[in-house]
Structure formats: C-alpha cells, structure tokens
Amino acid sequence: MKATVFHKHGSPEVLSYEDYDDPQVTSNQILIQVKAVALNHLDLFVRSGIPGLNLEMPHILGSDISGVVVELGKNVQNSFQIGQQVIIDPGISCGICEFCIRGEQSLCPSYGILGEHYRGGYAELLAIDAKNVVPIPGDAPLDIVNAAAVPLTLMTAWRMLISKAQIQPGDDLLIIGIGGGVALAGLQIAKTAGARVIVTSSSNSKLERAKELGADIVINHNEMPDYHKEIGRLTKNRGVDVVLDSVGQATWTRSLRSLRKGGRLVTCGATSGPNAETNINSVFWRQLEILGSTMGSRDELRTALKLVWNGKIHPVVDRVLPLSKAREAHELLERGEQFGKLVLTP
Ligand SMILES: [Zn+2]
C-alpha cells in the first residue's frame, strides 16, 4: 500500500509518501480501506516529537479515519459486512483494568491514541480491533470524506461539556479560540444543549463563520485583549458558567477571571504552553472548578455520534487534499488559518 510516514521527528519535510507493507488482520481485527483521514494538532506534536513518546520508526500518523470494511478477522465475521462504511474510534485501551470495566477507557493506565502511540491512518489500509470500528448508518446525512472529520474532536468536546462541565440549558459558555476542531464541535454541542455561546478569535472571518454555526456573541481577542472585562459587561458582572479553554498558558488567567462564582473551567490541551499562573485565593473564594479532560469513552463517542447521524451536528471541513500532500496540510495547520478540519484522501 501507499502511506505517508516519517522515519525521524522534525518539520513537515520529514513526511514521506512511499510504499509500505500491507497490514495483516488478526482474528479480532478488521481491515479497513481508508477513504479519508483528518488532521489534528496532535499530528504536529507527534511528528515534531513528544518527550517520553518513543515510537518505532517509521511511524504513520492519523487518528481520525473513515473507510470501508474489506476483510474480517475470523472472530468478527458476523459483526460487520464487507463494503460497510465505518469510522474509527481512535482510543486504544486494555479492556480489563478497573477504568475500562467501568467504561472509562480514557482513564485506562495504558490508554493510547491511534496515530500517536500506534500506527494510524495516513495510509491506504488499516488493520484495527473490531471494538474500535463504528458503522456509519446508511441514512447518515454526511459523506464518507466528511465523516473522517468527526470522531476525535467530537468525543473530546462531548466529554468536556456534557460529562465533565455538565452544561445546562441557559448556561453561558465561553469558548476560547474558535476555528479548531474541538472548539467547533463544542460550539455545536453547546447549542444543542441550549446554552448561550460566546466565542473568541483573532480573526473576524472566523468569528463570522462561528456566527453562522450558532455562536451568540463573538469577541475578537486581538481588538479586545482584556476580553474577561467584556465578559463581565455582557453578563452584568456575573461571569460565565463554563469556559472551554484548550489554549492554556496564553489565556488561562483571563479564562479563570471570566467565570462566575462556582463556575467551571474545562481544559483538554495547552497549545500555547502548559505553565500558567493560577490565583489560588480566587479558586477557593470564588469556588471555581478546574476540570481536566482527555478524549472520551467508547460510550461517549457513540452517544455524541447520534447528533451527527441525525444531522444536528455537522463536521466542518476546511479543505480536502490528497494523502501525498500531507506535508502541505501540516504546513497549513501550523499556520492556523484554517476553519475546521483538514482532510487527506488516499
Ligand atoms: Zn484499561
């Protein structure tokens, strides 16, 4: 098969489109012909090298995958059909620890992500355990290329807002940095949950697009760097119920200051850096809750997907490029000008 791999960590130039051995299915696996694979910021971090993550080279990136079933392992012959369209749950867990038994796979001590800890979907074929394979219903209102843009960010945003922050109808939610996959999935989830959603970006065109997707209030954080003061004005000095912040260091203090008393900040990442200052007095006196969240469980993904299958949530795709142009896609994602997902097709 053809695959885009890298033999050493580095800049986008290390990505190489080349021949690679076809994967062989084991008895509990399914062979997928990959139709599309969506990029995540995770791909950039893994390509550059994450301290402590020692990969067997060459590595194949790609966590968000859609495709068609082409071969079934002998134990899963009756579970799926050849030709069926599917997406892949990128979470890989042991299945036997206390957290997996409880259905909390993303707390599994050996939790890993397809494309990060395991070779992923920047390839024509992928062999994957049947329990990670999710059928796309025949009447789902999206095509197979757009379907690749769904799993990772949808499950992440769902766990953050529904399971962790427990967002309620009428809540005010502030999303920092609209345009990325988690933020866009979060916006759509929060609107279906009945929240009022305020979003920030440095780009007016991204803010306009966010309004089309249902954002109630938009703030350009370049024009208004003290945006927590604007949040105070908009909420009559109350603050918002929930902040979704995956930017981290650059926005952390302002995110905490945007919360109402007893409000919840939920984070799944720190793209601007991991070390921020927290005023502990403010945390206890104002009874703030800081909630960490990573990926989601198999159940959370399947529950969230119902909203995609019934057309309430739409994946937002910026553009589609051939797999051989993965390098160009990485450069685009590094520049951060996209609105929604970049998708590669083998
Ligand atoms: Zn486990």
pLDDT tens by residue, the chain, 346 residues:
999 999 999 999 999 999 999 999 999 999 999 999 999 999 999 999 999 999 999 999 999 999 999 999 999 999 899 999 999 999 999 999 999 999 999 999 999 999 999 999 999 999 999 999 999 999 999 999 999 999 999 999 999 999 999 999 999 999 999 988 999 999 999 999 999 999 999 999 999 999 999 999 999 999 999 999 999 999 999 999 999 999 999 999 999 999 999 999 999 999 889 999 999 999 999 999 999 999 999 999 999 999 999 999 999 999 999 999 999 999 999 998 899 999 999 9
Question: Could you tell me the distance, in angstroms and rounded to a whole number, from the CA of residue 223 to the centre of ligand 1?
Answer: 46
Question: Could you tell me the distance, in angstroms and rounded to a whole number, from the CA of residue 318 to the centre of ligand 1?
Answer: 35
> How far are the Cα atoms of 19, 62, 80, 182 from residue 58, in angstroms, in the given order?
12, 13, 30, 28
For residue 265, being part of any structural domain is answered with yes
In terms of pTM, does the model score above 0.85? yes
What's the distance, CA 136 to chain centroid? 18
Print the domain residue range for 67: 2-150+315-345
For residue 309, being part of any structural domain is answered with no
Question: Could you tell me the distance, in angstroms and rounded to a whole number, from the CA of residue 102 to the centre of ligand 1?
Answer: 9
Question: Could you tell me the distance, in angstroms and rounded to a whole number, from the CA of residue 101 to the centre of ligand 1?
Answer: 7
| Domain total of the chain | 2
Question: Could you tell me the distance, in angstroms and rounded to a whole number, from the CA of residue 100 to the centre of ligand 1?
Answer: 4
- Integer-rounded Cα Rg, in Å, for the chain is 20
For residue 297, being part of any structural domain is answered with no
Question: Could you tell me the distance, in angstroms and rounded to a whole number, from the CA of residue 107 to the centre of ligand 1?
Answer: 7
CATH number at residue 41: 3.90.180.10
SS3 assignment, position 312: coil
Q: How far apart are CA 181 and CA 159, in angstroms?
A: 14
Q: What residues have their beta carbon closer than 5 A to ion ligand 1?
A: 93-94, 97, 100, 108
For residue 64, being part of any structural domain is answered with yes
Q: How far apart are CA 274 and CA 222, in angstroms?
A: 21
Taking alpha carbons only, the member of 326, 329, 186 closest to residue 247 is 186
